[in-house]
């Protein structure tokens, strides 16, 4: 019998066992089918059927092998827009080590979960104007997995390589999406992932992607620019002068470590700064000035994705789900305090669209930090940006924030939002991202 036919039969057998198994022993890995050219079969098998309480939502999920040697596989969940020509946007959560399913269920995806495991649709889901792709990144986060210690990312080159491999397979699986505009977006530590992947896409011509730009919120792109907590917290009235001086001493020491590229020591020193902030302020949640504890509903989705019916529907088998992976975070120890500022400048100077946005109530990557970072950027139109007028931004007659822009770059400050802008201000976030992709900011 022809080997290709044997391969096809094997793929079908494995795939059907994944779909039909009640608790699902094996995840659905699509790469072998794609490599054999069985695109329609792979797409059909990745279709999400009988998702609990959300059977009417069209979506696709599965795994792409991004490193065969280490058996590294990335989980994706794709929600196509009802309009076939809408742009595709990849969403990457930060951390490092947080599952992008947090973004799907708690920030901007079409579904949300309440404390009783009841599913409802999100009014301002970004899928109203975009096809949204969520990938658990880096390998080892969420449902993504590797079978080798060497499969974990150590730096942004590793992260970008794996994501790029996943994207090539995604656009092979969904060739109808390949001509549509493509954007990379995220928040927080994704302020490193996003420019790194964008750089990989732009400089690697082995697979054409219709890449248009990037968007991310409260990004940890250039860590040294955030080291002014002593002033920020003092001005907010959260610490006194003595505590401010203690923080400043630690920040100054940390800046020296970064300058000399002692990134391992800087990692632990940043942890010390973070611990001091928590101890001085009493805040266990440093992502919104008016919230000192983490909102409980952010994590409602974790129980939902572990339901046997959900596991079966999204083809994850019996894999462990890691909403946060400390292991992945530790593997990026040398990366944490390093900068990818130069990659963002690269994207800007090649005239790709860039949107940076910030919730004005964030602490950990506060708006003044991002303002200072933007001033340090070396790009063609920085003088034009600095002389531009900051305009009021209103949504349905209400003041949503402020916009400053020049050429291909825009910085949006979102009023009454913290680190998680789409969570705190969903209508404003939807308006912002829609205007961005439609060139109406």
Model pLDDT for residues 119-147, shown as the tens digit of each residue: 999 999 999 999 999 999 999 999 999 99
Side by side, the strands of the sheet bearing 88-92 are 60-67, 72-79, 131-135, 88-92, 182-187, 211-217, 353-359, 409-414, 398-406, 391-395
CATH number at residue 311: 3.40.50.1820
Residues 6+ apart with CB under 8 A from 403: 390, 391, 393, 410, 411, 412, 413, 441
Would the pLDDT of 350 be above 80?
yes
Q: For residue 142, which of 190, 99, 102, 105 has the smallest C-alpha distance?
A: 99
Taking the C-alpha atoms of residue 373 and residue 363, their distance in angstroms, rounded to an integer, is 15
Confidence of residue 25 (pLDDT cuts 50, 70, 90): confident
Taking the C-alpha atoms of residue 418 and residue 424, their distance in angstroms, rounded to an integer, is 7
Taking the C-alpha atoms of residue 423 and residue 361, their distance in angstroms, rounded to an integer, is 13
The whole-number pLDDT of residue 55 equals: 85
Judge if 138 and 238 occupy the same domain.
no
Parent domain of 277: 229-281
Q: Is the pLDDT higher at 117 or at 194?
A: 194
Judge if 338 and 368 occupy the same domain.
yes
* Sign of the CA dihedral with 369 first, then 370, 372, and 377 last: positive
> 4 in a domain, yes or no?
no
Range from 19-28, 190-199, 389-398 carrying the lowest mean pLDDT = 19-28
The whole-number pLDDT of residue 88 equals: 98
Which residue is it, tokens 């952010």?
298
Judge if 235 and 306 occupy the same domain.
no
What percentage of residues in the chain have a pLDDT greater than 70?
A: 95
Judge if 265 and 148 occupy the same domain.
no
> 12 in a domain, yes or no?
no
Residues 6+ apart with CB under 8 A from 240: 234
- Extract the tokens encoding 403: 């916009």
Cα radius of gyration rounded to whole Å, the chain: 22
Q: Which residues are identified as catalytic?
A: 188, 362, 419
Segment 377-403 mean pLDDT:
96
Would the pLDDT of 115 be above 60?
yes
Q: For residue 187, which of 166, 216, 224 has the smallest C-alpha distance?
A: 216
Segment 247-266 mean pLDDT:
97
Would the pLDDT of 292 be above 60?
yes
The whole-number pLDDT of residue 15 equals: 43
Which residue is it, tokens 């999100």?
122
How many distinct structural domains can be found in the chain?
Answer: 2
Judge if 214 and 345 occupy the same domain.
yes
Q: What is the pTM of this model?
A: 0.93
Q: For residue 381, which of 350, 424, 403, 423 has the smallest C-alpha distance?
A: 350
The whole-number pLDDT of residue 327 equals: 95
Q: pLDDT tens across 44-95, in order?
A: 999 999 998 888 899 999 999 999 999 999 999 999 998 989 999 999 999 9
3-state SS record for 258-327: HHCCCHHHHHHHHHHHHHHHHHHHCCCCCCCCCCCCCCHHHHCHHHHHCCHHHHHHHCCCCCCCECECHH
Judge if 56 and 162 occupy the same domain.
yes
The whole-number pLDDT of residue 24 equals: 54
Q: Do 144 and 74 meet the contact criterion of CB atoms below 8 Å apart?
A: yes
The whole-number pLDDT of residue 149 equals: 94
Judge if 208 and 274 occupy the same domain.
no
Mean of the per-residue pLDDT values for the chain?
A: 93
Would the pLDDT of 3 be above 80?
no
> 6 in a domain, yes or no?
no
Burial status of residue 192 (CB atoms within 10 A of its CB: 0-12, 13-18, 19 or more): buried
Of 237, 254, 281, the domain-final residue: 281
Segment 213-232 mean pLDDT:
97
Would the pLDDT of 248 be above 80?
yes
Segment 405-425 mean pLDDT:
97
Q: Where are the beta strands (DSSP E) in 70-164?
A: 72-79, 88-92, 111-113, 119-121, 131-135
Task: Give the length of the chain.
Answer: 441
Q: pLDDT tens across 351-361, in order?
A: 999 999 999 99
């Amino acid at each position: 019998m022809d080997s290709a036919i044997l391969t096809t039969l094997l793929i079908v057998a494995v795939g059907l066992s994944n779909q039909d198994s009640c608790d699902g022993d094996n995840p659905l890995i699509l790469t072998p089918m794609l490599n054999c050219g069985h695109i329609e079969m792979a797409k059909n098998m990745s279709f999400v059927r009988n998702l609990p309480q959300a059977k009417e939502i069209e979506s696709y999920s599965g795994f792409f092998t991004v490193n065969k040697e280490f058996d590294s596989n990335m989980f994706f969940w794709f929600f196509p827009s009802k309009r076939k020509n809408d742009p595709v946007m990849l969403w990457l959560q930060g951390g490092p080590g947080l599952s992008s399913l947090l973004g799907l269920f708690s920030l901007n995806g079409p579904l949300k979960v309440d404390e009783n495991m009841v599913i409802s649709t999100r009014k301002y889901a970004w899928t109203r104007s975009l096809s949204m792709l969520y990938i658990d990144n880096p390998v080892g986060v969420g449902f993504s997995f590797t079978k080798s210690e060497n499969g974990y990312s150590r730096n942004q080159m590793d992260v970008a390589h794996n994501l790029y491999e996943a994207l090539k397979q995604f656009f092979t699986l969904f060739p109808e999406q390949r001509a549509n505009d493509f954007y990379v977006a995220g928040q927080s530590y994704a302020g490193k992932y996003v420019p790194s992947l964008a750089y990989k896409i732009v400089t690697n011509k082995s697979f054409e992607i219709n890449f248009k730009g990037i968007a991310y919120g409260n990004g940890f792109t250039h860590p040294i620019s955030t080291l002014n907590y002593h002033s920020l917290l003092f001005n907010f009235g959260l610490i006194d002068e003595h505590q401010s001086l203690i923080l400043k001493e630690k920040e100054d020491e940390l800046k020296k470590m970064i300058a000399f590229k002692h990134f391992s020591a800087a990692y632990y020193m940043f942890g010390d700064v973070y611990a001091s902030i928590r101890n001085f302020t009493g805040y266990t949640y440093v992502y919104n000035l008016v919230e000192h504890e983490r909102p409980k509903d952010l994590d409602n989705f974790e129980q939902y994705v572990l339901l046997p019916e959900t596991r079966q529907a999204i083809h994850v088998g019996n894999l462990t789900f890691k909403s946060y992976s400390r292991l992945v975070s530790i593997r990026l120890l040398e990366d944490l305090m390093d900068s990818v500022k130069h990659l963002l400048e690269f994207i800007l100077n090649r005239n790709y669209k860039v949107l940076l946005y910030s919730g004005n109530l964030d602490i950990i990557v506060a708006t003044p930090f991002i303002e200072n970072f933007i001033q340090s950027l070396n790009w063609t139109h920085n003088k034009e940006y600095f002389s531009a007028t900051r305009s009021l931004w209103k949504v349905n007659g209400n003041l949503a924030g402020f916009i400053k822009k020049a050429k291909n770059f825009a910085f949006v400050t979102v009023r009454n939002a913290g680190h998680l802008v789409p969570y705190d201000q969903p209508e404003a976030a939807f308006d912002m991202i829609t205007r961005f992709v439609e060139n109406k900011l």
